[in-house]
Amino acid sequence: VADLMLKRDARAELEALYRSRTPRSAEAMTRARRYMVRGLTRGWGYHRPYPLVAKRGEGPYLIDLDDNRYVDLANNGLSLIHGHAFPPVVEALRAAAGRGSGWLVPSEEQIEFAQMLCERIACFERVRFTNSGTESGMLAMKVARAATGRPAVLKSIDGFHGSFDDLEVGLYDRPEEPGRVYLAPFGDAEAFERKLAEHGDQIAAVVLEPLLFSGLVTKAPPGFLRRVQEAAQRAGALFVLDDCLMLRLAYGGSAKLYGLQPDLTFLGKFIGGGLPMGVLGGRAEVMDVLDPHREQPLYHGGSFNGNLLSSVTGRVSLEHFDAARIAAMDAGAGELRHALEQSAAELGLPLSTVAEGSIMGIYVTDSLARHDGNFMAGEATQLLHLAALTHGVFMGPGGEIALSSVVSGEALEHAREGLLRALADVARLTDNDQN
């Protein structure tokens, strides 16, 4: 991958500055490494020399152990649509917590949330709750296999749908598994059609995220999603939409935005209002494979599925996620992108941005390419992230940026200023003599 030539000590300089601002995080991460692998409990969020250790979130800001404040443009991996400690969510959580956390039987709150989802998302006739996007994707595969009696799924190369074996094929250099998981390149409708023509009678489901977010934000060419949906349905396979992240793009989710009618859609991330929750929803006829009154129902357990607290926080958060907020987030992201592109041009720094609605990927390079089956960005983009931290902006370590509904006004201005300073740092650390 072509990368910008950086001064030899560029990283050392930024790491030294970062360390000088974050001694308490450094100390805590030293302890963390004794008990958790590399001090971590998940993949996303790690960066050298060590990630921050957080103390508190306040609306658009994240505060670390050294009391540094950052405008949060990553929001726990895009799982907080209204930023941190959103007052209506906190209030509802306080009111519910005294009544317990969950029961083996449904609650009024769970039923209300299910109703809200079915009324809001066009293709939802029935839902099941889970506890994460990964779990929802797993359940989608089980339901599709049970509903069609077919063993395989078709997904896109580089399509990330969580940490479930079948849906990790096509990532981390894992090749196609004939009879179980087939692959086609994202954006190439013909390749999807070919796979369906060859293996259609084995394929239970075609799974797509409407754009690729993890690794490198990648948009689909116009018409791609609809063509794949049609090809899937022609082959008798279910069309499954992963809307864990991109539900944020429109009031009714990305299916509404792109004119899709998926058979099943799965949700996660911000759908729980900041607490763990996932949802699988779809046509009643398909979801009914889970009906215990059937002769051979598909069994689906889950101790915390639709628990009281996540049902409450999910409902309140979604209630506040209206069309006006979506439009404001999209506009804020547009402003930020424009400012970044303009500043990079003035600095003579190659910057590629890929954006949709309130999300974008920003990469310090003029040649966009995936990075060898892992999610690490190029070195210059990693340094932009580190520099942004030293200027009070918390973006994803791989160049990911997503607005929450509370990043506006002063917070948006802080984000803009911090990112422009970070761009200037990277430009200063570029080795012009070698370019």
Piece in contact with ligand PLP (CB under 6 A), picked from 157-165, 293-301, 343-351, 378-386: 157-165
* Tokens describing residue 309: 């607290």
Nearer to ligand PLP, 163 or 408 (CB): 163
Q: Determine if 129 is a binding residue for ligand PLP (CB under 6 A).
A: no
Q: Determine if 162 is a binding residue for ligand PLP (CB under 6 A).
A: yes
Q: Determine if 208 is a binding residue for ligand PLP (CB under 6 A).
A: no
Q: Determine if 160 is a binding residue for ligand PLP (CB under 6 A).
A: yes
Piece in contact with ligand PLP (CB under 6 A), picked from 96-104, 131-139, 340-348, 410-418: 131-139
For the bound state, the minimum distance from the C-beta of residue 42 to ligand PLP, rounded and expressed in Å, comes to 8
Nearer to ligand PLP, 162 or 418 (CB): 162
Nearer to ligand PLP, 133 or 378 (CB): 133
Piece in contact with ligand PLP (CB under 6 A), picked from 24-32, 194-202, 206-214, 302-310: 206-214
Residues numbered 368 to 397 that lie near ligand PLP (CB under 6 A) are none
From residue 70 to residue 109, what is the string marking binding to ligand PLP with x (rule CB under 6 A)? -------x--------------------------------
Q: Determine if 244 is a binding residue for ligand PLP (CB under 6 A).
A: yes
Pick from 72, 166, 193, 242 the residue near ligand PLP by CB under 6 A. 242
**CA torsion, points 138, 106, 263, 302, in degrees to nearest 10?**
10
Q: Determine if 273 is a binding residue for ligand PLP (CB under 6 A).
A: no
Q: Determine if 132 is a binding residue for ligand PLP (CB under 6 A).
A: yes
Q: Determine if 209 is a binding residue for ligand PLP (CB under 6 A).
A: yes
Piece in contact with ligand PLP (CB under 6 A), picked from 58-66, 181-189, 208-216, 362-370: 208-216
For the bound state, the minimum distance from the C-beta of residue 350 to ligand PLP, rounded and expressed in Å, comes to 27
Q: What are phi and psi of 155, to 5 degrees?
A: -140, 175
* Tokens describing residue 176: 């196609």
Piece in contact with ligand PLP (CB under 6 A), picked from 129-137, 251-259, 320-328, 406-414: 129-137
Residues that bind ligand PLP (CB under 6 A): 77, 132-134, 137, 160-162, 209, 213-214, 242, 244-245, 268-269
